[in-house]
Amino acid sequence: MTTAAPREQQASGRRKVWGHQNRTLWFWVFVGPFLLGLGVFTYIPLGWSVYLSFFDAHNTVTPDDFVGFGNYTAMLRNEAFTDSLWTFLVFSLFIVPATYALSLALALMVHRQRRAQAFFRSVFFLPAACSYVVAALIWKMSIFNGVRFGLANTVLDWFGADQIAWLSTTDPPWYWAVIVTVRLWLQAGFYMVLFLAGLQRISPTLYEAAAVDGARPGWQVFRHITFPQLKATSVAVVLLLVINAFQAFDEFYNLLSDSRGYPPYARPPLVYLYYTALGQGQNLGLGSAGAVLLALIIAVVTVGQAKWFGLGKKEAE
């Protein structure tokens, strides 16, 4: 009896540490590595970046020259940075609705298609499998190059128009045509598939009921049945599109950069910060300050968007 009590206590103590059926142990075995990875590769760099943003950190990640909010005021007064935020805003305001409309239109057309639906679905979806870098290089070097044998200029030539240096012309800003089309081509198919899935979930009885009630097929049915029924899909698509727009880097960098840097137009914040912090400048303090500002903006926009769409609320509410 005298020895049984401590043993029991020991067992219950171990249960306290490891949990029932060692559940706590297994929790850490499975979650631990990912938590560790998240910490090492995401949160430590994030924290470090905030730390660096308060220092004059040229070519060093262990700076000792504290400058307070100096980097932040410098960044906010820096026209190149504020310009890049505008660039980005204009880009998102255009690309989000444009991709939304195009992919919805594609989905509606493919959905109505009775024959060869799988074929059209794959054809429109295929570009999503292409990398941004590859697509950007094709756009830059073969379709929209500035010389007479580029595809776009060949077409212009048929109509007797002058050749255009697409990526180098700032007035009118033809480079936007290149940037926007490459992203539309790459993205539209993917969101079309999301919309198709949404369309297939709409119950046919709704359409039958609408027909009985005398709704005219076409715009009226779309406006009052299809579009409201796609609300959940639409919210997801818009969220994803905005996130993708925030990440704008690949096609911009590959279309417009050259060995000597990047032109001062169509320069989104990530590209600008890349050159500030990681290019030859190696101004890690200033770059970090810009990154923190950008992160704050993204956080505000995301929270605002979630509120706006009522994301996270229960379906019933």
Partner 1 sequence: MTINRRGLLGAGAALGLLSACGSNSGRDDGGSGDGPKLSQWYHQYGEQGTEQAVKKYAAAYKKANVTVQWRPGNYDEQTAAALLTDSGPDVFEVNGPSLDQIQGKQVADLTELFEGVKDDFNPAVLAPKTYAGKIWGIPQVIDMQMLYYRKSLLADAGVRPPKTLDELVDAAKKLTSQKTKGLFLGNDGGAGVLGGTPLYAAGLELVTAEGEVGFDDPAAARTLGKIHQLYADKSLLLGAPADWSDPSAFVQGLTAMQWSGLWALPTVQKELGDDFGVLPFPKDGAAGKPSVPVGAYAAAVSTRSKHQKAGKDFLKWLWIDSTDRQEDFALSYGFHIPARVSLAKKAEKLRKGAAADAVRYTTDHGQAEPLLWTPASRSAYQDALSRIIKDGASPDEELKKVVRKVSAELGRVKKKS
Residue 191 neighbours by CB distance under 10 Å: 24
Quote the CA–CA distance of 231 and 104 in Å, as a whole number: 12
Applying the rule CB under 8 A, the residues between 131 and 150 that interact with partner 1 are: 141-142, 144-148, 150
Which class for 47: exposed (0-12), middle (13-18), buried (19 or more C-beta within 10 A)? exposed
Q: Which two tokens stand for residue 212?
A: 């009985």
Q: Give me the least distance between CB of 197 and partner 1, in Å please.
A: 31
- The interface with partner 1 within residues 230-269 (CB under 8 A) comprises 258-261, 263-265
Question: Residues 179-218 vs partner 1: string with x where CB under 8 A?
Answer: ----------------------------------------
Cβ closer to partner 1: 80 or 105? 80
Interactions with partner 1, residue window 6-45 (CB under 8 A)? 26, 29-30, 33
Q: Which is nearer to partner 1, 22 or 113 (CB)?
A: 22
* DSSP H or E segment with residue 313: none
Q: Which stretch binds partner 1 (CB under 8 A): 84-92, 107-115, 159-167, 190-198?
A: 159-167
- Answer for which of 24, 60, 302, 305 binds partner 1 (CB under 8 A) is 60
Please say whether the beta carbons of 139 and 133 come within 8 A: no
Residue 127 is classified by DSSP as: G
Give whichever of 80 and 134 is closer to partner 1, judged by the CB atom. Answer: 80
List C-alpha distances in Å: 62 to 5, 52, 162, 270, 278: 55, 8, 55, 23, 16
Nearer to partner 1, 166 or 190 (CB): 166
282 near partner 1, judged by CB under 8 A: yes
- Options 169-177, 212-220, 229-237, 294-302: segment touching partner 1 (CB under 8 A): 169-177
204 with 146: CB under 8 angstroms?
no
Residue 73 binds partner 1, judged by CB under 8 A: no
Shortest gap between Cβ of 65 and partner 1 (angstroms)? Answer: 9
Phi, psi of 66, rounded to the nearest 5 degrees:
-70, 130
Kindly state whether residue 165 participates in binding partner 1, applying the rule CB under 8 A. yes
b/e string for 103-113 if b means 16 or more Cβ within 10 A? bbebbbebbee
Six token digits for residue 133: 């870098």
Q: Which is nearer to partner 1, 283 or 288 (CB)?
A: 283
# residues near partner 1 by CB under 8 A: 38
Cβ neighbours of 247 (radius 10 Å): 11
Binding range to partner 1, per CB under 8 A, among 5-13, 58-66, 115-123, 186-194: 58-66
SS3 303: helix
Phi, psi of 199 (to 5 degrees): -65, -40
What does the binding site for partner 1 look like in residue numbers (CB under 8 A)? 26, 29-30, 33, 58-61, 80, 141-142, 144-148, 150, 165-171, 258-261, 263-265, 275, 278-283
